[in-house]
Chain A
Amino acid sequence: MYSNKIAGVVAGAVALLLLSAPSYADLTKCATLIDGENAKMQAAMIKHFQKCIDGYHKDLAKVPKTGPFTAAAKVCDKELGKGIGSGGDIDKEVTTKLIAGFTKNTCTESDLLALGHLSHKLYTDNWARLQGVSAFHSAYEQALAGSRDFIQGLIDMGKSASPGCPNCVKINHPLCNEMSSVLASSSQAVVLVSVLNLTVPLSGTTVLKICDNTVSGLVSGGILPNIPASTFYVLGGPGKLLDPAPVGNGGTALATACTRTIAAEGIIQCGSAQRISYVTCQDHTPSTTNADGASASGGCTGQDSCARTKKNSEQSVVDPKDGPPIAASDTLIGGACIKTVSTAGVAGDGFVNLTSQIGLHRLVTNDNCQNPATLDDAGLPATTSLTTGTAAAKVLNQDSEGGTPSTNELDSDVVTGSIFNCATLNAGQTKGTHLVGAFPAINTLQLSGGGDFLDSVTTFELDVAP
């Protein structure tokens, strides 16, 4: 009989699948590269914006002989060109550092996914271009926070006498619109274990920023270079999909579990589009081992990629000084596998990685887990992939009710998403969006009566309220 002591450390966290394709190049180097370049692009744009603002204020104080804001416009147009032009700071960093970093293997596909970025295999260089958009938007927000008349300045300089500031006109609308997406009552997670089916309503909001490089067609050719036409990027902000939950009994709770969405990165294709559907599979007790990146793990065959099998004893990392490993059995646990299918999509198909954390907080706060000053633990981040296609999960040789491996297969329903509405996206709304995701989990769910941890498959359906 399986006990909770052999609970699986099969990769994975809060949400998803867990693979580790071939291997991680060096996660730290990849994270440093991406975050470092993002910060560098932000800093460069802040500097350019500041020079624009300074020039504008100078011209406000004293009108140039050549006409209102003409001196500032000339300086600002040049500065912005250095930042957003072809070969400018953002284009250069994205191309020569981020995309080149992937080519040089500083970042691998596995690194990108582990860090919550878009898949290179599915969406090529969009993961890097999204960083450029993200950096630009962050700098833009900071410029706005620092100077309330930033946009008015861009408008005034854009209207100044020839040659004016064409680049000011390009960016006098925000590239990204922030939308607080309230989940509809139809949003739910369904957790299926061998003996029961738990349906959990999801409520709350997630803040999504939808970024349109053409600002709804106002900017011919786009603001930033080399971004595919009719492509929207999705950036995330803090949000909440599950209410705070006490861990333990009411007044004697050990802690409060705060589940927060902390970031999102995604893509919506409103021109040429692909639809991504996936099935995740994990064999609880494979008879043979497999390496990372294999096309099969136990009974999960014909996969795109599987994580390697592990022995139960590998999960016991107890210091030898503390005694023998807890798990005596060397039964294999299968690696999680993923099989994706990409089909021709339609305008509005998309894919979003939501990164969440479950923090355990000693203080049972009354602030609904929203006050950073009281959030002393963020928890490890985990990414859930959501698609407008379909998603399903299965566990082979699942635990039976008593925790004993069986030959039974545990299958989730196939959940089906629906496309974003490109017309309403242009108007800055995500209403009606229906995104879905699924993942398997081995030995992680204990029923309320106690006992063994059982296998489960979970599907997520997120509906944005109309």
Chain B
Amino acid sequence: MRPLIALVLLLMLLGEGAQAAFPNEPEGFGPLRFGASTAALEKAFPKAKRRGQEEFLTIYDLEGQSVLGLKPCTVELRFVDDKFYQVLFSCEPKDKVARALEKRFGPAVQHKPDETVWLSETHWVSFSPQAKSFSYTDRSLGSLAQKKLLGYVLRQRAQAQATAAVPTPGPTP
């Protein structure tokens, strides 16, 4: 068997120096660029409501926005380690969302049953044909969020397992 040189197993794409790979790659939402802090969000969007924070993750909600000519849109902004990494949109009219995305970003790169995707090394635009929602993600920070989420989910599962294994004390005589 000839020696193998390199197997690279995975995933994330390094973003530095990458060229835009599809038209109008999103750099954030409005004046808020990916990587911005929650303080910057509150300054840029004073009406944003903080849904809450859990460890590394903070989520804000914003109502009544206009995006790609669609309105009204409910917007969810997500932060990992206080850095803006993803924005999720739910807009009306839903039947015009797919067309608006194609108009803005050109033909999609990937068409999967549950997801239509525009991707580059730095950004990820995803559209759910069923839910009619879409999102813009910074790939570098998004990957960090995914890794932390995986760690979080695994830890929760382990703790739940450990709790379930603790015997319940018997009745006091």
Q: List 23 A-B contacts (CB under 8 A).
A: A5-B82, A8-B144, A12-B143, A13-B10, A16-B11, A24-B18, A28-B22, A35-B110, A113-B9, A113-B10, A121-B6, A122-B4, A201-B161, A247-B54, A254-B52, A254-B54, A305-B6, A326-B83, A338-B7, A358-B153, A377-B126, A383-B10, A445-B148
Interface residues, chain A, with chain B CB atoms under 8 Å away: 4-5, 7-9, 11-21, 24, 26-29, 31-32, 35, 39, 109-110, 113-114, 119, 121-122, 189, 191, 198-201, 238, 242-243, 245, 247-249, 252, 254-255, 257, 259, 262-263, 274, 276, 278, 280, 292-293, 304-305, 307-308, 314-319, 321-323, 326, 338, 340-344, 358, 360, 362, 372-380, 382-385, 439, 441, 444-448, 450, 453, 456, 458
Interface residues of B in 142-173 (CB under 8 A from A): 142-144, 146-159, 161
User: Between A and B, how many residue pairs show CB distances below 8 Å?
Assistant: 295
Interface: B3 (CB within 8 A) = yes
Query: How near does chain B come to A244, taking the closest CB pair, in angstroms?
Result: 9
Cα-based distance from A219 to B158 in the complex (angstroms): 48
Structural contact, A276 and B7, CB atoms closer than 8 A? yes
Query: How near does chain A come to B91, taking the closest CB pair, in angstroms?
Result: 11
Count of chain B residues with a beta carbon within 8 Å of a chain A beta carbon: 79
Q: Enumerate chain A residues within 8 angstroms of B40, measured Cβ to Cβ.
A: 318-319, 321-322
Question: Which of the residues A15, A32, A109, A199 comes within 8 Å of B8, measured between beta carbons?
Answer: A109
Cα-based distance from A255 to B30 in the complex (angstroms): 24
Structural contact, B10 and A15, CB atoms closer than 8 A? yes
Cα-based distance from A418 to B163 in the complex (angstroms): 32
Query: How near does chain A come to B51, taking the closest CB pair, in angstroms?
Result: 6
Q: Enumerate chain A residues within 8 angstroms of B78, measured Cβ to Cβ.
A: 360
A252's nearest neighbour on chain B, judged by CB, is B52
**Known contacts A35-B109, A257-B149; A458/B154 CB under 8 A:** yes
Q: Enumerate chain A residues within 8 angstroms of B10, measured Cβ to Cβ.
A: 11-13, 15-19, 113-114, 382-385, 439
Query: How near does chain B come to A229, taking the closest CB pair, in angstroms?
Result: 18
Interface: B100 (CB within 8 A) = no
Structural contact, B154 and A446, CB atoms closer than 8 A? no
Cα-based distance from A252 to B57 in the complex (angstroms): 14
Q: Enumerate chain B residues within 8 angstroms of A13, measured Cβ to Cβ.
A: 10-12, 142-143, 146-147
Output the residue of B1, B9, B82 with the most chain A CB within 10 A: B9
Structural contact, B133 and A380, CB atoms closer than 8 A? no
B143's nearest neighbour on chain A, judged by CB, is A13
Query: How near does chain A come to B65, taking the closest CB pair, in angstroms?
Result: 16
Cα-based distance from A69 to B18 in the complex (angstroms): 57
Query: How near does chain A come to B116, taking the closest CB pair, in angstroms?
Result: 10
Interface: B124 (CB within 8 A) = yes
Question: Which of the residues B120, B124, B133, B161 comes within 8 Å of A200, measured between beta carbons?
Answer: B161
B14's nearest neighbour on chain A, judged by CB, is A20
Q: Enumerate chain A residues within 8 angstroms of B133, measured Cβ to Cβ.
A: 376-377
